[in-house]
Amino acid sequence: MSNDFPGWHGTTIIGVRKGGKVVVAGDGQVSLGQTVIKGTARKVRRLNPGGHDVVVGFAGSTADAFTLLERLEKKLEATPGQLQRASVELAKDWRTDKYLSKLEAMLIVTDGTDLLVITGAGDVLEPEHDVAAIGSGGNYALAAARAMMDSDKDAETVAREAMAIAADICVYTNGKLTVETIDA
């Protein structure tokens, strides 16, 4: 019998920019191996560093994500209203800092203008087609949202319906959503 930690799973986060709005939605599931530990975790947050609203969704280790959120907030306070610059600075630190480089999480961030994915590999990616998704069910949510982008559905409807599809397919995703909207 192996004593290896089975690993935390769970989380699907999606960001959709459409019709002058950006919506970030995240499910609430946290799983340990094959067991759901919590179904109502809140993985989407609104920050207000320097008076500028930013919405962040995170996937991965919660403690690691909160460490990154704190660092991002400090970067945003140092460069108010410059999400892309703060994100690049965070990604550089994340990749090169001995402590931060061990953190296992991904972020979707938006200020209503920029929609970015930040990774520990030093990436700051602006997604194609105005949709970004991360986490266990991210690819399912991404595909579903992209299929709806040409419809007359608004950003929130696209995000909610894409998350519902991901929850139907991915066992590490549930339908208990936290949704934050920000104007573009």
Indicate the DSSP class of residue 42: -
Residues 6+ apart with CB under 8 A from 52: 76, 80, 81, 111
The answer to whether the CB of 172 falls within 8 A of the CB of 24 is no
Query: Residue 18 carries which side chain, given as an amino acid letter?
Result: K
Whole-angstrom Cα distance, residue 104 to residue 144? 26
Q: Quick check: is 157 catalytic?
A: no
Indicate the DSSP class of residue 149: T
Residue listed under structure tokens 């192996």? 2
Query: Residue 45 carries which side chain, given as an amino acid letter?
Result: R
Whole-angstrom Cα distance, residue 170 to residue 147? 18
By three-state DSSP, how is residue 8 classified?
strand
Residues 6+ apart with CB under 8 A from 4: none
Q: Which residues are catalytic?
A: 11
